Amino acid sequence: MNTSQAPSAFGASSTAAEVIDGVDLHGRHAVVTGASSGIGVETVRALATAGADVTLAVRNTDAGATVADRLRAELPPESGKLSLARLELSDLSSVKAFAASWDGPLHILVNNAGVMAPPQIARTAEGRELQFGVNHLGHFALTTGLHPALAAANGARIVVVSSIGHLFSPVVFDDLDYRYRPYDPWTSYGQSKTAGIHFAVAAAERWARDGITANARQHRRHRPGPPHRHAGRGLDDGQRRTRPPPGQDRPAGRRHLHPAGRLTHGRRRHRPILRRLRPGQARHPTRRRHPRRRPVRPGSGERGTPLDRIRSPHPLRIVRSSGLFGVGPAQITDTRTA
């Protein structure tokens, strides 16, 4: 069934105050994860200004208490109440305790907390890769645990904060936790954000009969550069900075984050080599590259490089990914040569 959707009056430059202007949320209860910094703070401010009672679900309760006290001093008198609760998304026991302690209906759930691109692989208390475990699995367990409270609200809304970083990677079901492939911080981040989008779509479809609406929201960065501190466990100050302060040279050999999200090693990326030719300018002669011989199975009679002669840079290589299609687990082979 096709339904027409009216065009929205808001766009990428709209602020939270503009969107929520005229909305009355008195008597509603909301939970915002990662509410101790960044857009989590502004989300709490907007919801409380409209009258909602907001629970700040944070990992660091000291930082959360500081933010809550500051917001109480800044919000108008008719704003909703602010409360604080500890939530460690990398530990499922903490997530289950938070969901079990919730009492009453829940009208708004904003899954905002996240980890972005720690340079070294880290794991949750259950052994899952940290970004996938926090950004997706932790919020998945939290949302499903709060489903009875969301259904009791009769019109609840779930917001999954996503990112354009979901374009970095799909969900690689054959190796979700980087146990057989080299760890890459950005594909790991993209995988977690893609999983969050899939979850929002599935929740909107399956929980519609409970009156629950779920959406994945891609936040807009207000300035170029890497994400703010609320999104980066394991990133030191040098890695968060895209360029040195004015008047200082970039230290040689130091790793920096490119504004597009790629790691560079003390130098900028090369500029594109495609340029517009001036009138009368000749093209550079192109070099003919020899085609690479495709791998074939030994004894097949086809021309190419036999598979048993290919050396893999990694001891373990996935040679058949049947698990991705639900047939069975992926077949892992040892490609180390004597």
- In the block, tokens 């192109």 appear at 286
| Positive/negative CA dihedral, 128, 132, 135, 141 | negative
Given the DSSP bridges, would you call strands 29-33 and 108-111 parallel, antiparallel or unpaired?
A: parallel
Catalytic residue from among 178, 180, 183, 189: 189
Partners of 55 in the beta sheet?
31, 83
- Told to judge if 178 belongs to the known catalytic residues of this protein, a careful annotator would answer no
Residues 6+ apart with CB under 8 A from 239: 119, 226, 255, 256, 257
Nearest by Cα to 185 from 132, 222, 236: 132
**Three-class secondary structure of residue 185 per DSSP:** helix
Nearest by Cα to 94 from 124, 128, 121, 114: 124
Q: In what order do the strands lie in the sheet with 82-86?
A: 82-86, 53-58, 29-33, 108-111, 157-162, 213-218
Helix and strand numbers (H, E) in the chain are 9, 12
Residues 6+ apart with CB under 8 A from 128: 137, 176, 177
Give the catalytic positions in this structure: 189
